[in-house]
Every structure is written in C-alpha cells, then in structure tokens.
Amino acid sequence: MANPLYRELMERLEKEIREKYAPNEQLPSERDMVKKYNVSRSTIRLALGDLEQRGIIYRLHGKGTFVSSYFSDQTSLSATYSFSKLSGNGFKPSTQNISLGLIAPDEEIAKQLNLAPGERAYELTRLRLSNGEPFLYSKTYLPEKIFPDFVLDDVEHDSLYDVMQKKYQQISVLAFEDIKAVNLDARVAKILEVNEGDAAMKIYRRTINDKNVSVEYTKAFARGDKFIYQSKQYNNIY
C-alpha cells in the first residue's frame, strides 16, 4: 500500500532536516512549503504534526517552526560514527555483512532490549571498512518480535535504519551511547588488522523508536588510529 502523501512529505522533510539544518534553526513557513512541495496546507500541517510529535521539530506561537535542539546531522542515526560522511573526505566506505542469526540473548542484551524470558534477538555482525581497510567491528541486536523474518539481504543495499523504517515501520528517534577506551584482545585485533593490545574505543549504543521502545542494541570496537568522535554543542535558547 502506498504511503499517504503527508507521510511521504514527512520523510522528505526529515531527510532535509538531517542534511541541511542545525538545531534551533527555523524552517520555512507553511506558505513557503506549500509552494516548494506543491501540496496543500493541510498536508503540510499533518507532516509537521508528526515531526513535532516525534520531537524532531518544535513550534513557537507567532515565531514559526524550528529544529529540536538534539536533532541534527551531527547526530543522525543513519550516519553513525560519521560513516556515511567518509566518502566526502576522500575515503571509500564499505560494509561487510559477516553473519546474521537468532540467539537467546544474555542478561545484558535482554535488559537493553527489554526482552522477556524466552524472547529471542537477531545478532547482526558487520565490519566497516575505509578504502578496504577495516576500522569498526560491530554486533547489533534486534528484537525478533519487532523485526520478524529479518534477513541479511535486507542490509546489503540499504542502511539498517532505512530497513527499520521502510520494511518494519520502526522510526528511530533517539540513541544513547557510551564510549570507553580499551585495549584489543587477540580475536578482535585480528579482525581489525591491528596488533593485540592496540588502543581502541568500545561503543555501546541503544536506539529507541518513536513509541519509546528499544529497537536496537549495538556493541562495537573502533580502531584507535582511525576513529575520531566529533560533537557539536548548541546552546538551546528556547
């Protein structure tokens, strides 16, 4: 079934916000959007209403519509670890999808995904490369009850977050990350093509959807000589 027009517009606006707008930056007026997208004002309002409900934008009476303070391209879920930006900096990024399987999660994973006893999760193992050289090794866990019939082919040509949204209608709106410095053990060092004991960053990431449900938990190792974590901080004046 085709998406309603307002939902197509909402997805387009969200993409433009990720790519072009900073936190607290004002969006065009409804009148300007009607002209730009060639849709009715009611369609504009439905799309903006959904974006506001998900916390992506906020409105100030008499002033207009603005991008929420935490939502920006710097923290785009589809650009995790600036992977999608590498091609713009002289690098050729690629991904090796190593394996996918259903597992009985351990206590840590079950807690992060709010799984009940007996519920299973998919374990997706991937290797990120730049110019053919590995720089990030990750294991991602997805609840089977939310992503039934998930297959490796799903992420061969689309990002994980695109698959979540397009195939399963799961809209990821917020992620929590913990990052700590570690020394690599022999197994992971071999995968990342470095020496045992070399410095790396271990990343724990939990993603929630627009209904405040955990939909993803990832544990990753990033090479210390390749990984730079960049952050921009904005003063939310509203």
pLDDT score recorded for residue 45: 93
Given this model, what pLDDT does residue 40 score? Answer: 94
**Any bridge partners for residue 130, and if so which?**
93, 133
- Do residues 97 and 131 share a domain? yes
R_g of the chain, CA atoms, integer Å: 20
Shared domain for 50 and 154, answered yes or no, is no
Report the 10 Å Cβ neighbour count for 76: 19
pLDDT attached to residue 149: 95
Q: What is the pLDDT of residue 119?
A: 97
On whether both 45 and 163 belong to a single domain, the answer is: no
Q: 113 and 19 share a domain?
A: no
| Whole-number pLDDT of residue 231 | 59
Same domain, 150 and 215: yes
Distance CA 237, CA 227 (A): 32
- Last residue within a domain, chosen from 46, 67, 88: 67
Instruction: Report yes or no: 98 and 152 within 8 Å, Cβ to Cβ.
Output: no
235 falls within a domain = no
For residues 22 and 128, state if they share a domain.
Answer: no
Residue 210 φ/ψ, nearest 5 degrees:
-75, -5
Q: What is the extent of the structural domain holding 92?
A: 77-223
pLDDT at 158: 83
Instruction: Tally the domains of the chain.
Output: 2
Q: What is the largest CA-CA distance in the chain?
A: 60
Do residues 188 and 222 touch, judged by C-beta distance below 8 A? no
**pLDDT at residue number 91:** 61
Backbone angles phi, psi at 44, to 5 degrees: -60, -45
Question: In this structure, are 96 and 178 located in the same domain?
Answer: yes
Q: Which residue has the tokens 């517009």?
A: 9
> What distance in Å separates the CA atoms of residue 213 and residue 199, rounded to the nearest whole number?
34
Over the chain (238 residues), what is each successive 10-residue block's mean pLDDT? 77 87 86 94 92 80 78 43 48 86 97 96 95 93 97 89 89 86 96 96 91 93 81 47
Task: Determine if the pTM surpasses 0.85.
Answer: no
